[in-house]
Structure 1
């Protein structure tokens, strides 16, 4: 019982609301930071992939002679410079304009999808896909015979069956990673259907 009227309630009174910190951050702040960080990771991977592709192509053009392959691992892996009018691994010759439009569509898909990014695995996959696609698209836009019809520089000969470049390696690696993420049920936003709630970042 209180001794005097107007005496304040004790600090332990269960009816008194607990004090809140003036420095508390909104619950969504961490998610925003995480998404920003994942997008940054995507950009870094894309830049590294693109630079690796373009630098190796410049090296191949300056060093290799078309029609004069160099053995790296016997006849199983060679350096063999060609100009490719088709898609990855010389597939689809004669459809350069169509392939250029497809490459632009892939870029739009990546940009739109990246807005929901919440998974490290997807950041890697989209980064490699973006860098590789930009690498080959640069060739199609800037190399002969003209914009949109340019031939891609290929120089890695696999078993004498097909010839590709570093951009193709990143594109194929991205496709494999996307397949693995799909098998695990990891969405672009980091969610798993069976869990039903947001789970970002750690799902890779």
Structure 2
């Protein structure tokens, strides 16, 4: 019982940090970056540029009809976030801490981008670009995208290992 309480608290804390860090950086981007302007922070490796994305990753779905876009970019992600949360805590009584952290980062990033879509007329604020030269670059993204990406990468690297395979004992 005690272990479950702390895991839930960590889950909620990581979600809070993910949402807060994303929303604060988006507010700064909105306040200080000029649309169309490019600021090279670390040469060509890290670039700041303001964009409002009506689509998903790399603008996918931006040209969908508004009703379809709402379903694909708001309703479906909301359902998936709920499924992620339920799956994490119903699958095991005491999920491994690393699973709690990765799922919380994915959920926190997802909640923050959903917040944007709901309160900014279907748009998400993006402002960062990483890469080398003109060919090897990311799309324009935000801190929520980083939380989601890093959480997903770690989850994939874990390969769905359960707490019993990680050597942790459920109490």
TM-score scaled by length of structure 1: 0.71
Q: Show structure 2 runs of 5+ residues with no match.
A: none
Q: Distance in 1 between matches of 2:38 and 2:26?
A: 15
Task: Specify the structure having the higher radius of gyration (Cα).
Answer: 1
Match of 1:153 among 125, 141, 162: 125
2:148 and 2:169 map into 1 onto residues whose CA distance is 26
CA distance in 2, matches of 1:125, 1:59: 26
Query: 1:55 — aligned with what?
Result: 24
The answer to whether residue 74 in structure 2 is matched with residue 104 in structure 1 is: no
Q: How much has 1:151 moved relative to structure 2?
A: 0.6
Cα drift, residue 39 of structure 1: 1.2
Pairing partner for 2:161 from 186, 190, 202:
186
Name whichever of 68-77 and 41-50 sits farther off.
68-77
Per the normalisation by structure 2, the TM-score is 0.84
- C-alpha distance after superposition, 1:139-166 (max 9, x if no partner): 110003xxxxx11000002236410000
C-alpha contact 1:84 1:90 (8 A) present in aligned 2? yes
Higher relative contact order, chain-length normalized (CA < 8 Å, sep 6+) = 2
Alignment correspondent of 2:107:
130
Q: Distance in 2 between matches of 1:85 and 1:99?
A: 9
Counterpart for residue 149 of structure 2: 172
